[in-house]
Structure 1
Amino acid sequence: MVEHSRQALVGAFGARYVSLAIADIDELSVSNFALLSTADFEQPMQAVERYLASVPRCPNKVSLALAGTVEGDAATFTYRNWKLSRNDVRAATRADHVCLINDVEASALVLPNLSAYDLHELHAGTPVPYGNKAVLMSGAAVGIAGLVRADKDWVPVVGEGGFLRFVPTDDDLAELGDGFLAEPYIACDDVFTGAGLAALYQALASKAKVKGKSSGAKQIAAFGLSGEDPLATRALQIMATWLGRVAGDIALLYGARGGLYMGGGLIANIIPALQTGHFREAFESRGDRSAYVARLPVKVIKTAADAGLRGAAIAMARSLPSHALAPRPTARAAY
């Protein structure tokens, strides 16, 4: 049997879901895709073991992107009481090469390799070749990272951006009421998620003293975009404004002249709401730096781009002794 030495088992462990696939680490294409729920497993490698039962073989390379902290040969998950080591991965997969990487770092790594097919353009801007890039991932949790050029490599810069403080304005509180996320410290993680959209919608309903027609983030997004529920439409307008505020701050922080990229389930599902002007106005409202921000490209990463998985594949390629940056993708994901 021919050993497909440039294939790897790749995974992306988020706050609620696990994506797993087989990747070509040169072309950055993925196949045998599977989506699992983290709630179904007591330990992360149980998800990998279930996946491996569905594929003919496991490549000798495994790269996992995870929502958590990677230190040396071990990782600690942020949203699950899980720990993972490279030896755990080797024991379950018999892989010769194992790579662990933070999930937002993986999403940042893939930015230069995304094609027009992978992206939805919100604003073309004027990109600067090799200019800094920034990414805001918003789904079940929030992740923020920058990507800077160093010599011939792209270097991700990742922190704990999901825990940045979010401060509603007086006008926000006047419309929503004091009960909206009434906590001493409101983090971006509390706001820019499905749960945050649901809390925003419920606050609007409570302030209007009506019973909401929608339940759950997916229905709120669907009814808001269709106009079927005016409260849901207003919730999306506010969310777009807030995303614009935070995205503009991130773009300034990283000097994202190469582009500001946004992704994750929440953002990908409300793209029409981000095109209404609420996002753009808030994004560009930067005082003396408004003209600077107006030149920055803004793009949304489509969910089918598999950013986390392909970023994990790039991380694997970089970890090998024959490290060479992956080329721009020439093949698309196969499901």
Structure 2
Amino acid sequence: MIEHSRQALVGAFGARYVSLAIADIDELSVSNFALLSTADFEQPMQAVERYLASIPRCPDKVSLALAGTVEGDAATFTHRDWKLSRNDVRAATRADHVCLVNDIEASALVLPNLSAYDLTELHAGAAVPYGNKAVMMAGAAVGIAGLVRADKEWAPVVGEGGFQRFVPTRDDLAELGAGFLAGRYVACDDIFTGAGLAALYAALVAKAKVPPKSSGAKQIAAAGLSGEDPVAARALQIMATWLGRVAGDIALLYGARGGLYLGGGLVANIIPALQTGHFREAFESRGERSAYIAKVPVRVIKTAADAGLRGAAIAIARSLSSHGAAHRPVARAAS
């Protein structure tokens, strides 16, 4: 980092993991990265305190992106019985400036700053300069957001997309069995996660009346990609199709002519399955709007891109700007 650079402690609290680092909020670079498990802590600031013990000093700025709801100076976590306030952060870090931001909002904010090194391209499309963008993060949970250009700024649009209903088709149920996730509201959160992949695999095994060869989402993904487990391979084909359907819906909803981005652990583990025709066909199958959707670029955010941490850095840079600071991170050319 350059001398006199503006540094901040940045963090991303997900459903299962906490990532923490020191960021240059102008260059959007991160260092001193650490990954911790949320299960190891009773309160969120315990994770930050453990991290602080491993670095020489804490910057006077802190920005935390979290899976939950941020209202005013306080936040409530979705996947843990945790609450957090800016005063809690100040007490632990002695920071002068604290920013709390929803994790999917942070992921949306960083989209214009992602380079080719941060992304795996699934479909080149024909991006519209400063066109709307959308992101779907699928890992331990699902988050969906849009990013629209408002005057000279990018404005994130965040909802509760992970809770939107997912409806299998008749063909899906014919292959999986009518009992697949039957009897309850099935949301994207139930499908596009490691648990969702495991449930899909279990349904295929039961329908085929064969013993399972794989267990757990990572093993199912690895066995399916290698071809050593044909049922796992079929599960990945179906998951790629389902992701294509929902991603296409998201792209239409947000008019994402600037690009549709996929991220999260589930997606990162099955990229080769998404590079087949199953995803692309489902994504573009839109009737008379197929030509429109075919122009939407589709990219996967690599885990090494540190999207949540860099998004948190952008969030605090914006917060400082609103308080009169002059500098802002410079977005790379939209692609």
The answer to whether the superposition gives a TM-score over 0.5 is yes
Answer yes or no: is the 8 Å Cα contact 1:5–1:60 preserved in 2: no
Answer yes or no: is the 8 Å Cα contact 1:318–1:324 preserved in 2: no
Answer yes or no: is the 8 Å Cα contact 1:5–1:59 preserved in 2: no
Separation (CA, whole Å) in 1 of partners of 2:5 and 2:275: 44
Aligned match of 2:277: 277
Aligned match of 1:106: 106
Separation (CA, whole Å) in 2 of partners of 1:179 and 1:227: 27
Aligned match of 1:327: 330
Separation (CA, whole Å) in 1 of partners of 2:331 and 2:248: 28
Aligned match of 2:196: 196
Aligned match of 1:30: 30
Answer yes or no: is the 8 Å Cα contact 2:20–2:35 preserved in 1: yes
How far does the alpha carbon of each residue in 1:152-208 deviate from its partner, in whole angstroms, 9 at most, with x for none? 110000000000000000110110112322242000000000000000000000111
Question: Aligned with 1:107: secondary structure?
Answer: helix
Aligned match of 2:309: 309
Deviation at 1:5, TM superposition (A): 5.7
Aligned match of 1:333: none
Counterparts in 2 of 1:168 and 1:323: CA distance versus 1, 3 Å: farther
Give the letter for the 1:299 counterpart.
Answer: R
Aligned match of 1:225: 225
Separation (CA, whole Å) in 2 of partners of 1:323 and 1:237: 49
Aligned match of 2:298: 298
Deviation at 1:237, TM superposition (A): 0.1
Question: Is structure 2 residue 187 aligned with structure 1 residue 187?
Answer: yes
Separation (CA, whole Å) in 2 of partners of 1:96 and 1:184: 47
Deviation at 1:41, TM superposition (A): 0.5
Aligned match of 2:170: 170
Higher mean displacement: 315-324 or 216-225: 315-324
Gaps of 5+ in 2: none
Q: How does 1:100-179 map to 2 (within 5 A)?
A: 100-179=100-179
Answer yes or no: is the 8 Å Cα contact 1:153–1:325 preserved in 2: no
Aligned match of 1:75: 75
Answer yes or no: is the 8 Å Cα contact 2:110–2:311 preserved in 1: yes
Aligned match of 1:11: 11
Separation (CA, whole Å) in 2 of partners of 1:170 and 1:39: 39
Give the letter for the 2:325 counterpart.
Answer: S
Question: Aligned with 1:12: secondary structure?
Answer: strand
Q: Normalization by structure 2: what TM-score?
A: 0.96
Separation (CA, whole Å) in 1 of partners of 2:229 and 2:57: 48
Answer yes or no: is the 8 Å Cα contact 1:138–1:262 preserved in 2: yes
Answer yes or no: is the 8 Å Cα contact 1:69–1:76 preserved in 2: yes
Question: Aligned with 2:328: secondary structure?
Answer: coil
CA RMSD of aligned residues (A): 1.4
How far does the alpha carbon of each residue in 1:9-46 deviate from its partner, in whole angstroms, 9 at most, with x for none? 00000011000000000111101111111111110000
Deviation at 1:3, TM superposition (A): 8.8
Deviation at 1:4, TM superposition (A): 5.1
Answer yes or no: is the 8 Å Cα contact 2:16–2:140 preserved in 1: yes
Aligned match of 1:332: none
Gaps of 5+ in 1: 330-335
Aligned match of 2:44: 44
Runs of 4 or more off by more than 2 Å in structure 1?
2-5
How far does the alpha carbon of each residue in 1:250-282 deviate from its partner, in whole angstroms, 9 at most, with x for none? 000000000000000100111100011000000
> How many positions carry a matched residue from both structures?
329
Deviation at 1:328, TM superposition (A): 4.0
Separation (CA, whole Å) in 2 of partners of 1:207 and 1:135: 34
Answer yes or no: is the 8 Å Cα contact 2:140–2:194 preserved in 1: yes
Separation (CA, whole Å) in 2 of partners of 1:32 and 1:78: 27
Q: Normalization by structure 1: what TM-score?
A: 0.96
Give the letter for the 2:70 counterpart.
Answer: V
